């Protein structure tokens, strides 16, 4: 459980200039990522939580992600209303960086005091006018593409109001967590090569190496006539 407090006592954190990692990986790859990250906890910050203060068990997260990926593998659209709250969570190595704000009887919102790794369900949208793919898009024609992980680079202390750079130090313990995530992504995923009417567009969004065998079943890619270049055809 988290410490109970309020913004009046703690102040309000301000962060900016986030680094972002946007990726779709296989469910087994997600398990591998979790093992690589070591000790961390997951908290629900997108909705009101109960007296357990919003902790999400790792297995619950992984099972939700597995159901999401299973739908794509089968050429079906995932039930995003179920996945969205789980994929809108935060990762932290220290629960002391969080507190629970009361909003009713045994009801709370989870708030942060220091930078954490923020998650967000990730979608792409192809712009017909500019011929480009845009991330974190909304709308019925978007392409569901896993999760965006982000971590800020600038932090304003909620009490002193002073700004500082978010460094890899004991002052910002989640920096090491995000760096570990970034290293894993570089080693286990690739930029996504989309084929649009035979023209290849290399996107910076990442695709897990185990996804190339089934990504052709993605229902929105099929609907839009997009393809992902085969792994064997990619340039080294």
pLDDT of 141: 86
Count Cβ neighbours within 10 Å for each residue of 163-200 and write b for 16 or more, e otherwise.
eeebeeeeebbbbebbebbeebbeebbbebbbbeeeee
Question: In this structure, which long-range contacts are made by residues 78-87, counting pairs with CB atoms below 8 Å and at least 24 apart in sequence?
Answer: 78/144, 80/121, 80/144, 83/121, 84/46, 84/121, 85/44, 85/46, 85/47, 86/44, 86/56, 86/60, 86/61, 87/119, 87/120, 87/121, 87/147
Give the separation between CA 30 and CA 6, rounded to whole angstroms: 34
Q: What is the pLDDT of residue 231?
A: 65
133 close to 194: Cβ distance less than 8 angstroms: yes
- Separation CA 2–CA 44 (nearest Å): 12
For the chain, the structural domain boundaries read 7-123+145-189
Mean pLDDT by 10 residues, the chain (236 residues): 94 95 98 98 96 94 98 96 95 97 94 97 89 83 95 93 94 97 97 90 94 96 92 53
Write down the pLDDT at residue 232. 55
Looking at residue 235, what is its pLDDT? 46
Instruction: Convert the pLDDT of each residue in 54-99 to its tens digit.
Output: 999 999 999 999 999 999 999 999 999 999 999 999 999 999 999 9
Q: What is the pTM of this model?
A: 0.93
Q: What pLDDT, on the 0 to 100 scale, is given for residue 205? A: 96
DSSP per-residue codes, 51-94: TTTTEE-HHHHHHHHHHHHHHHHTT----HHHHHHHTT-EEES-
Per this entry, what is the length of the chain?
236
Residue 229 CA to residue 133 CA, distance in Å, equals 16
- According to the model, what pLDDT value does residue 236 have? 43
Distance between CA atoms of residues 166 and 186, nearest Å? 21
Nearest alpha-carbon partner for 30 in 55, 57, 59: 59
Report residue 184 CA to chain centroid gap: 14
Task: Record the tokens describing residue 182, joined without a space.
Answer: 């970034």
Gap between the Cα atoms of 47 and 145, Å rounded = 22
């Amino acid at each position: 459980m988290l410490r109970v407090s309020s913004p009046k006592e703690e102040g309000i954190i301000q962060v900016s200039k986030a680094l972002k990692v946007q990726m779709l990986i296989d469910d087994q790859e997600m398990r591998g990522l979790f093992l690589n990250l070591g000790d961390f906890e997951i908290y629900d910050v997108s909705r009101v939580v109960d007296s357990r203060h919003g902790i999400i068990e790792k297995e619950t997260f992984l099972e939700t992600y597995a159901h999401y990926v299973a739908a794509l593998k089968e050429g079906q659209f995932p039930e995003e209303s179920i996945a969205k709250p789980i994929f809108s969570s935060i990762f932290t190595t220290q629960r002391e960086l969080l507190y629970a704000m009361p909003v009713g009887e045994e009801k709370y919102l989870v708030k942060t005091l220091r930078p954490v790794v923020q998650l967000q369900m990730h979608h792409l949208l192809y712009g017909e006018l500019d011929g480009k793919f845009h991330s974190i898009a909304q709308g019925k024609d978007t392409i569901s593409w896993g999760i965006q992980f982000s971590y800020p680079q600038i932090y304003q202390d909620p009490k002193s109001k002073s700004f500082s750079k978010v460094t890899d130090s004991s002052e910002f313990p989640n920096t090491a967590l995000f760096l570990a995530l970034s290293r894993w992504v570089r080693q286990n995923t690739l930029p996504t090569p989309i084929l649009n009417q035979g023209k290849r567009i290399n996107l910076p969004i990442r695709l897990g190496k185990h996804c190339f065998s089934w990504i052709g079943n993605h229902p929105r890619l099929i609907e839009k006539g997009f393809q992902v270049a085969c792994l064997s055809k990619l340039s080294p």
